[in-house]
Amino acid sequence: MATVAPERVSRPQVRQTTCFIDGKWIPSASGKTFETIHPATEEVICEVAEGDKADVDLAVDAAREAFENGPWATMDARDRGQLMHKLADLIEAEIDELAALETLDNGKPITDSRNADLPLVVDCLRYYAGWADKIQGDTIPIRGDYLCYTRREPVGVVGQIIPWNFPALMAAWKWGPALAAGCTIVMKPAEQTPLTCLRMARLAQKAGIPDGVINVVPGYGPTAGAAIVEHPDVDKIAFTGELATAKIIQRAAAESMKRLTFELGGKSPNVIFADADLEHAVAGAHFALYFNQGQCCCAGSRLFVEDKVHDEVVDRIADWNAKHAVGDPFDPNTKQGPQVDQAQFEKVLQYVDYGRQDGASCVTGGKRVGDQGYFVEPTLFTGVTDEMRIAQDEIFGPVLSVLKFSDVDELVKRANNTNFGLAAAVWTRDVAKAHRFAAKVRAGTVWVNCYDVFDAAAPFGGFKESGIGRELGEAGLAAYTENKTVTLSLG
Ligand code: ADP
C-alpha cells in the first residue's frame, strides 16, 4: 500500500448533502434533515437530508426500473467493468479531498484515511471491475439427450446498509460486487458518516454509471434502514453493523425471503506465543487493537500472551501507548483520533468501568483526553479473565484486554470461548503451531505473524454470530448472483 504522508490538510468542502435517487439530487420527501458532526470538535459540519420510507420507495422504484429496463440491464458486461474503472479513476483523482472528507465526518487520522481507507476503496472497485465480464456459468453433463447449462444472473435490486467505522470503504465493498454482477443499489450510509458515500455517488454519476443504478438514501436505521429491509421489491440485503440490528433485519426480511449477507461484530483472539519475534508481535498486537480508534469489527481485542513473555509484552505495549499520539485527526502525526460520537465515547468509558469493577488492572489510559471531542486514552487492561465483560463484549474502542495462558490445548478452547468468530491471529516462529491454531480456531479469517491484512481478492466474513456469507473475493461476488439452470432437449 502506498504510504503518502499528507501535509497538514485543510478542511474539505462538503458538496453533496441530499438524497441521490434516479440520478437526481433531492431533499427528503418530508423536508427533514439531520446534523452530521466532526467528532474531534463536536461541531456541526452540515445538515443532511433525512430520508425515510417515502424516499426509499422512490429509490427502490428507480433501482427496479434501472435493473429491468435501463441501459444497465442491456449493457455488455465488459462496458459495465469500464464504467467501474472510470469510477475508481475519478475517486483516485480526488483521493486527497475524499480522505479529508472521511476524516472530517468520522474523525479518523488523515494518514489512515489517505493511506489506507481511500486506496483500498480504489483497489476494491478495480478488482471487481475486472470481474464484470468473467461471471460465467457451466455446461453440465446431465443424463439423457439434453444440453444443460447454468447462467449466473444478477440477484436484482440490492439494499445495502453500512456502518460508520470505514464509511467509504464499506461503500466500495458493497458497490464493487453488486455493480460487477449487474445489480442495482439502494444504499443507506450510517447516520454518523454520510458524506463520503454521497461524494462517491456523485463521482459514479460523473463516471457515467446510469441513473437509478446507485441510489443513496441517508437517514436513520429504524426508519430509512428498516424501509429498505421491509420493501417487497428489494431482492437482497447486505448489512454491516451490530448483531442486535442484524437480528431485527433477519426477522423483517423473512417476510419476503430476501437474500441476506451479514458482516457483524467480533471479539477476536490474538495469540502471542513465547517463541514469537516479540518486537514484531507487539507492534502487530498494538496495531490490531488501536488502529482506527479500536473501531474495527475484527479488532484483536483479546490478547492472549504466553505466561513466559507476558510481563515483557505488557511493558512494551504500555511503552507504545505512551507514545501513541492522540489528537487532531487532521494533523499528519496523529495516530489516534476521537471515537465517532458521544454514544460510542460513553460506551467505551463504561467498559473501562466494567473492567475495573470486574477486577482487571488498568495499566495505561482509562480516561477521556481533553474536554472537547470524543477522545479516549489508549487503554490497557491486564489480569483479564475469560468471563469478564471486557473479555466477552465488543467494546469498539481503544481498550485492550490481556489474558495470560500457559497450556496450548486450553488456549484454543479459550480463544473459541465467544459467540463471535470473525478473525483471529497467532504470532510464533513455529509453523506447525501456527497452522494447528489456524485450523482449530473458529474464525473467518486467521492472520499468522500479521494482522489486518486485507485484500479485495481475499474473502472476509464471520463464523457464528459474526455474520453470514463472505465479502470480497469471488465469494463476495457469488452473494450478488443467482444461479439459473437451463435444460434444453436435443431430442
Ligand atoms: P453501529 O454500532 O455500527 O452503529 P448499527 O447496527 O446500529 O451498528 O448500525 C449499522 C447500520 O445499520 C447503520 O447504517 C444504521 O443506521 C443501520 N440500522 C440501525 N438500525 C437499523 C434497523 N432497524 N434496520 C435497518 N438498518 C438499521
Quote the pLDDT of residue 11: 82
Percentage of the chain beyond pLDDT 70 is 98
Q: Which of 48, 245, 247, 263 to mutate to test the pocket of ligand 1 (most atoms within 8 A of CB)?
A: 245
Quick one: pLDDT at residue 7?
A: 60
Residue 10 has pLDDT above 80, yes or no: no
pLDDT in tens, 412-432: 999 999 999 999 999 999 999
Residue nearest to atom 21 of ligand 1 (CA): 221
| Catalytic residue selected from 94, 191, 263, 377 | 263
In the predicted model, what is the mean pLDDT of residues 295-314?
Answer: 98
d(CA 80, ligand 1 centre) in Å:
30
Structure confidence at residue 73 (pLDDT) = 85
Q: For 334-361, how does the pLDDT look when each residue is reduced to its tens digit (9 = 90+)?
A: 999 999 999 999 999 999 999 999 999 9
Q: What is the pLDDT of residue 2?
A: 43
- What is the pLDDT confidence band of residue 98, given thresholds at 50, 70 and 90? very high
How much distance in Å is there from the Cα of 28 to the middle of ligand 1?
A: 19
Place of cell 464499506: 170
Percent residues over pLDDT 90 in the chain: 97
* 92 C-alpha to ligand 1 centroid (Å): 29
- Cα of 268 vs centre of ligand 1, distance in Å, is 21
Mean pLDDT, residues 137-145 = 98
Q: Pocket of ligand 1, candidates 105, 106, 161: which has the most ligand atoms within 8 Å of its Cβ, to mutate?
A: 161
Q: Quick one: pLDDT at residue 317? A: 98
* Nearest residue (CA) to ligand 1, atom 23: 222
Over 70: is that where the pLDDT of 5 sits?
A: no
Our answer on whether the CB atom of 230 is closer than 6 Å to any ligand 1 atom is no
Cell readout for 413 is 478452547
User: What's the 3-state SS for the chain?
Assistant: CCCCCCCCCCCCCCCCCCEEECCEEECCCCCCEEEEEECCCCEEEEEEECCCHHHHHHHHHHHHHHHHCCHHHHCCHHHHHHHHHHHHHHHHHCHHHHHHHHHHHHCCCHHHHHHHHHHHHHHHHHHHHHHHHHCCCCECCCCCCEEEEEEEEECCEEEEECCCCCHHHHHHHHHHHHHHHCCEEEEECCCCCCHHHHHHHHHHHHHCCCCCCEEECCCCHHHHHHHHHHCCCCCEEEEECCHHHHHHHHHHHHCCCCEEEEECCCCCEEEECCCCCHHHHHHHHHHHHHHHHHCCCCCCCEEEEEHHHHHHHHHHHHHHHHHCCECCCCCCCCCECCCCCHHHHHHHHHHHHHHHHCCCEEEECCCECCCCCCCECCEEEECCCCCCHHHHCCCCCCEEEEEEECCHHHHHHHHCCCCCCCEEEEECCCHHHHHHHHHHCCCCEEEECCCCCCCCCCCECCCHHHEECCECHHHHHHCCEEEEEEEEECC
Q: Average pLDDT, stretch 146-161?
A: 98
Residue 297 annotated to the active site: yes
242: Cβ below 6 Å to ligand 1?
A: yes
Instruction: Work out the average pLDDT over 228-232.
Output: 97
Split at pLDDT 50, 70, 90, the class of 4 is low
Which is more confident, 369 or 5?
A: 369
Determine the pLDDT at residue 8: 61
Q: Write out pLDDT tens, residues 232-278.
A: 999 999 999 999 999 999 999 998 999 999 999 999 999 999 999 99
Rounded-to-integer distance, Cα 315 and Cα 335, Å: 20
Å from CA of 182 to ligand 1 middle:
26
pLDDT at 392 over 50: yes
pLDDT tens digits for 198-214?
Answer: 999 999 999 999 999 99
Does residue 186 have its Cβ closer than 6 Å to ligand 1? no
68 is catalytic: no
Average pLDDT of the segment spanning 90-94: 98
